[in-house]
Amino acid sequence: MPLLRAAQRRVELLVLIVLIAVATSWFFFFRTSEQTILLAMPFSSRPRVTIRQGTIIGSKTVDPTLKFPQALDRFLGVPYAMSTGGNNRFRPAVPVGEGKKEFDARKYGSTCLAMASGGDGEDCLNLNIFRPSKRPEGEKLPVLVYIHGGAFNGGFGHMRVISSLVAWSSRPMIGISFNYRLGALGFLSGKLAAEEGALNLGLKDQSTLLQWVKENIHDFDGNPDDVTIMGSSAGAHSVGHHIFNNPRQSPLFHKAIIESGAATARLVLPYDATIHETQFSEFLSHLDLLDTPPDELFDVLRGLPVDEIGKASLAVYHKYDPQVRWPWQPVIDGEGGFIPIAPIKAWRAGNWHPIPIMTGFNTNEGANFINPGIATSNEFTTFFSNLIPNFSSDDIRALADMYPDPISDPDSPYVETRPGLGAQFFRTEQAYGHFAYINPVRQTTNFSSQKSSVWLYQFAAKVAREGTLHAAHDNFATYNIDIWERSPSLREITGKMHAYWTSFITTGDPNTEPGRWEERLTWPKFVMGSETGDQTQYGEIAVFGQGNDEMTGGAEQGAAVKIVDDGWARDQCMFWDKRTELFES
């Protein structure tokens, strides 16, 4: 019995470690939240906009703690769809209807039921709009729509400080963040869910929001014909799926920023894949509904308290989280669906919207998700065998050859020497990062550059013992005060990143608008490389913050930005690229 209890404690500790890593990836780098101070002003002087659903009354704000250079108008918690509770649960969102009432938009609205953040419930499909209080008269401004991350199981719209991105932009723009359904409520999968029309509801929520922007943003002085969609992590995967969605129709957006993600990221499986059916059954088991007749099931599910749905959703998530085999993900839903075919097949068939794209990755994308104590080569291969069931024994041997064992091979580039980390940690996090994020980003770059302008980046500033973590770039790109106040060199890194990002949002090219950092390198478009004899020339990539370790208390300043050939980890990415269909079938 003592041995059993010890084993149970080890499992519980492992689950806790992974949960902390995931939470860190979402929230550590979002510790500066969207907090502002309302300017004292009479009700009649508050900014107001009348649209089809009524009059939206916002607030004019400044925030001395964030030291914005200008005041912003904020319109918070504005509904873009009806409540998803009751009879609307597990159904596509219903757009908000016409109305003449006034809506007080001074506070954030309810967030969707989620894993890490808790969430408020099901009346959660709302958006937040940020615009400069002083704007060029008669000019319609470029619009940014930000899609938040969180593994499709957590997060909320205002977890990233989009107001900072807007406030510091040298060219006026409008920023939007919003909520969409998460977990089982937003991404239920399986045959019964397909029959009910309940697949990919979170992605469909996002499309409903984009349609709302197209119809209403003009009244907020935004340009509906100049919309950039941007996402990080799961938000980036979402952006990738929107780029594929309905390629024969004009999209509801015109540019895209895809940060640490892609449509081909991680596993994108058919809705009836074995793991999806298993997870759906486990979900029903937690609700004591396994014996419910299929034709009655969704009526019963719609009648349950939402907290019970949330607990069951979270229980299934907890089971698969240590293996990074998260449930409740976008699925291939077939002809007429949101993701009709495997994303890699869509790339190869040319079925995507050819729009300008900025995309990139961080150096240690996998470090957030790997058990820090992973110690043996057997643990390494077992992790990937569980993660990718379609891997054959030959694939596992090839994986071990591509990432040499740091214990048996002293020349392995993955030798781990940092205190507190297992002997296989660096090897495993690099392999997982290449598989889940970095190769998918490169696939986006390689394919989309054939039809449109693409700019590729790598974020390399060290932010933790483990390196440049997943999501570590987020506060840098938005020019958050908790970065730029630390040192002049960090101010330069975040300032130049913000200048490139906002130039792309407002002009379609990261170099066009000089911004507050006029003395910065020209970031060239990515062009596929070529081979001449023994020489391989890759496309060019902008690398931000390489060599800087000040976020971890170091003194190295590194380089704010440099332009180099994109040859880093190319062989490893080629390994994963050749096997992509194993992750989508």
Q: Under DSSP, is residue 334 helix (H, G, I), strand (E, B) or coil?
A: coil
Please, are residues 364 and 433 in contact by the beta-carbon 8 Å criterion?
A: yes
What tokens appear for 509 in the block? 């090219």
SS3 annotation, 220-264: HCEEEEEEEEEEECHHHHHHHHHHHCCCCCCCCCCEEEEECCCCC
What tokens appear for 452 in the block? 């449109």
Residue 555 CB neighbour total at 10 angstroms = 9
Give the chain's length: 585
Dihedral sign from CA coordinates of 211, 212, 214, 215: positive
Rounded Cα distance between 228 and 169, Å, is: 15
Rounded Cα distance between 573 and 112, Å, is: 35
Name the CA dihedral angle for 571, 572, 577, 580, rounded to a multiple of 10 degrees. 160
Rounded Cα distance between 123 and 113, Å, is: 10
Q: Which of 233, 260, 453, 503 is catalytic?
A: 233
Residue (of 419, 481, 536, 537) closest to 164 by Cα position? 481
Query: Is-catalytic flag, 233?
Result: yes
Max Cα–Cα distance, the chain, nearest Å: 75
Q: Which residues are catalytic?
A: 233
